[in-house]
Amino acid sequence: MMRASTAPSPTNSSPGGDAAAVSSFDQALAPHMARILDAIGQPLFATDREGWLTAYNPAAAEVWGCSPPLHATRWCGSDAVFAADGQLLAPAQYPVARALAEGRPIRGLDIVARRQDGARVPLSAHASPFHDAAGSLLGAVVLLLDTSAQRQAEARARVAAVAKTRFLSAMSHELRTPIHGIMGLTDLLAAVAAEEMPLGAEELGWIEDIRTAAQQLLGLVDDAIGFAQASVAAARPQPPRRTALLGKTVSDVASTVQPAFVRRGVCLTLQGAPGAAPAALDPAAARQALLGVLREVLRHMPDGGQVTLEWGVAAEEGIAFIHVACPGLTLPPDLLAELDNPFAGADRDSYARGLEGVGLSVAAAGELLRGHGGQLVIQRGHEGTPPGLRLTMPMAREAAPPPPNTSVAPAPLPPVLAQASFPLEQVVAATQDIILVTAADLDTPGPTIVYVNPAFTELTGYPAEEVLGRSPRLLQGPGTDHDVLRRVTEDLHAGRVASATVLNYTRDGAPYWVEMRIVPLRDRRGAISHFAAIERVVSQAALPA
């Protein structure tokens, strides 16, 4: 839970000197402020005007690698802070120190924090001062965004650019060779036919060569088309028309690929109950994903090897899975880790021992699964555990465990927080995340808004007084996916936390994408009294193409 100071603070203060923030704040929400801050998944902390820590959430403690004492730790909980170029920063250069000294927000400052265990975490810091109604500085709130994934993605993009060039070169060569073979052998047959000579064994061999070349070309085209189709499906996923029973999917796909495995002397073993493991994925999509994975696995299995397929559900994670174990895989660990990279196939070709192709089928399977809420995990293997691949997808609702009792009591707050007089609503108001709180009534015309923080107004252009008492549906527009909203409503009706990425519209009609997480807030009796939506804007570039 959010750890907060117990030091007295003014109760009539307003973050950032904005009096409207006080008037638009529903005091009935005060007991829920700590839970709202806990629901913010990114590191968040607050300081007083001197920079001493007065509050932080569990995500901040996690990124620091410790839980520093309040009022005894200054500026932040990190062991040290560095600039993006690696230069050690003096405390006066910390984002929170600059926000306090300059009296203005410091946004998007790239830093590297050193944890107590010595590990370094790249972050984007957003520090904002907040003031009382008279304009006197009270402290600052800092939101930290972990940029590790972004930096890794940039590094992967640079590697992929090189791999793509090599891939395109290999693809061009692979396409030209069979096409030239088809053209040349067709010319020979045409010459024979022109002389009205009967076809003998040699001519029949030419026809077989044409067929082989055509099959090779078809394999290449199938790989490319399959990847393109999976990319499109991932970009515009549709709700599954019916449930896939993974046991049946595995059995059907195994029957399809069995002849190819037998020709290579590779044993294919199935472990699981027939028809078990219902997944929220169309059977055709599940079949396509597994078929693509097995096709690429066979390319890199030694003669006489063994592949085992296991399937089931992990109810606690809400997923159904297929595990493909392939001991003896000929790929080195570094190339195995890149098995789902669509542009690294050329690097793996020298290890391919089976079917033709350029290694796009696993990438296509990964795209397809990610587009439907699942993922493809490549397992390098270690002592006692063979390498393999794990395909996961959302578990079908009928197989999911029953929803939690919506009347259960909320988890108690720590004493230090339950007794706190620190005005946590100021931290909520100053955070860069959009926070919107509604009443619990989900029926038409929808829940009514009881609180929005200044970040909401800054993004949408709606002042608080214009949206209070209205439904969040005023943010929807022609491009909003109502199937996504319907699934969110189902989760909230069941008392579950709901997460989704949706397209909303500002007051002026400009579209914007947000990742939102909606958390039920409960009263002392355990009944849901409000819903808190924590939203973060995502760029168009971060969405599936």
Whether 388 maps to a domain, the answer reads: yes
> Do 120 and 166 sit in the same domain of this protein?
no
pLDDT class of 25 with cuts at 50, 70, 90? very low
At which of 146, 174, 194 does a domain end? Answer: 146
Mean pLDDT is lowest, of 28-37, 163-172, 228-237, 507-516, for 228-237
> Do 132 and 174 sit in the same domain of this protein?
no
pLDDT in tens, 289-325: 888 888 888 888 888 889 999 988 887 777 889 999 9
Domain that holds residue 529: 433-542
Residue 82: CA count within 13 A, CB half-sphere: 14
> Do 75 and 112 sit in the same domain of this protein?
yes
pLDDT in tens, 92-145: 999 999 999 999 998 888 899 998 888 888 998 999 898 887 888 989 989 888
> Do 95 and 221 sit in the same domain of this protein?
no
Question: Mean pLDDT, the chain, as a whole number?
Answer: 74
Angstrom CA distances, 463 to 20, 437, 443, stand at: 9, 15, 25
> Do 44 and 142 sit in the same domain of this protein?
yes
CA end-to-end span of the chain: 37
DSSP structure class, residue 93 = G
Contacts of residue 5, Cβ cutoff 8 Å, sequence gap at least 6 = 48, 53, 54, 55, 70, 71, 420, 422
Structural domain total, the chain: 3
The structure's pTM equals 0.41
Angstrom CA distances, 169 to 172, 179, 342, stand at: 5, 16, 14
DSSP-derived 3-state class of residue 266:
coil
> Do 302 and 278 sit in the same domain of this protein?
yes
CATH of the domain at 107: 3.30.450.20
Residue 52 scores a pLDDT above 80: yes
> Do 115 and 168 sit in the same domain of this protein?
no
> Do 185 and 76 sit in the same domain of this protein?
no
> Do 193 and 77 sit in the same domain of this protein?
no
Q: Supply the angle between the helices 361-371 and 283-299 in degrees, to the nearest 10.
A: 150
> Do 186 and 133 sit in the same domain of this protein?
no
CATH of the domain at 386: 3.30.565.10
Residue 14 scores a pLDDT above 80: no
Whether 175 maps to a domain, the answer reads: yes
Residue 411 scores a pLDDT above 70: no
